[in-house]
């Protein structure tokens, strides 16, 4: 019963993340069409690229009459974070064969957050991390693409989803996933440093760049910790 209860809780979490994130896809669909893309192009972008921040960046460059090369480069830069996610999730999921391609395609903020959170909270239950990752991938992929189509079809008729608090809902969901992992002083210090870096850079850098810069705080902390451990042993 406890096992079924834990699994059900993970599935509910995955669905809630999917709803919060997917609903915001309406905004992407509307912005994509307003920026000059056709409805099929907007849908293909969500299907093939499937990483929200990069998609918004791509559409933003296109809407500003930027070149295709600039749009692709900007989207790729923002999507670089998924490569770091992949390194983390590969150790947890251990995909094999052709499944690696599918795993890489759906390794995004949301799936990484749910999967890694379950791995941290339930280290004795690796199955929960896999369930969380794949359930979130299915929920977000299905709802994001459906919402993209809806947003592209209705255009700006619904207005900016931020008016309805959908962006805040997604941020709240991420905070709920992150909070249980801030259990030690070192993790809280890294989180505080990342928040400070991102807050300072938001008015100075293009959208998405402050997130990448904040991620470097965790990277530096990760490098320093093994070095400190080696010095203590020696």
CA atoms of 56 and 37, how far apart (whole Å): 12
**Nearest of 205, 224, 204 to residue 216 by alpha carbon:** 224
Q: Write down the pLDDT at residue 84.
A: 82
Q: How many CB atoms lie within 10 A of CB 182?
A: 14
Residue 163 vs residues 24, 138, 166: alpha-carbon distances, Å: 11, 27, 8
The pTM of the full predicted model, rounded to 2 decimals, is: 0.71
Question: Residue length, the chain?
Answer: 234
The predicted pLDDT at position 163 comes to 64
Strand ranges in 29-183 using DSSP code E only, listed in sequence order: none
State the pLDDT at residue 230: 46
Note the pLDDT of residue 162.
58
Q: Which residue has the tokens 């957050």?
A: 113
* Per-residue pLDDT at 224: 66
Calculated CA dihedral for residues 11, 13, 19, 25, nearest 10 degrees: -110
Q: How many CB atoms lie within 10 A of CB 34?
A: 14
Are 200 and 63 contacting, i.e. CB atoms less than 8 angstroms apart?
Answer: no
Give the chain's residues under pLDDT 70. 1-3, 66, 156-178, 180-181, 206-209, 211, 224-234
């Amino acid at each position: 019963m406890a096992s079924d209860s834990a699994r059900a809780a993970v599935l509910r979490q995955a669905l809630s993340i999917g709803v919060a994130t997917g609903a915001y896809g309406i905004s992407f669909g509307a912005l994509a069409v307003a920026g000059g893309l056709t409805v099929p192009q907007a849908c293909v972008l969500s299907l093939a690229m499937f990483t929200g921040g990069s998609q918004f960046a791509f559409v933003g460059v296109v809407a500003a009459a930027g070149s295709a090369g600039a749009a692709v480069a900007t989207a790729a830069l923002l999507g670089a974070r998924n490569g770091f996610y992949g390194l983390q999730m590969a150790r947890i999921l251990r995909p094999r064969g052709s499944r690696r391609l599918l795993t890489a395609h759906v390794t995004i903020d949301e799936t990484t957050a749910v999967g890694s959170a379950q791995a941290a909270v339930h280290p004795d239950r690796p199955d929960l991390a896999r369930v969380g990752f794949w359930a979130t991938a299915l929920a977000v992929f299905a709802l994001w693409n459906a919402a993209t189509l809806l947003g592209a079809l209705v255009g700006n008729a619904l207005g900016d989803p931020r008016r309805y608090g959908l962006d805040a809902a997604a941020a709240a969901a991420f905070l709920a996933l992150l909070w249980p992992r801030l259990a030690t002083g070192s993790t809280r210090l890294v989180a505080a440093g990342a928040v400070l870096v991102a807050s300072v850079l938001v008015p100075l850098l293009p959208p998405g760049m402050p997130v990448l810069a904040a991620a470097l705080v965790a990277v530096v902390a990760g490098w320093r910790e093994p070095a400190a451990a080696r010095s203590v042993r020696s």
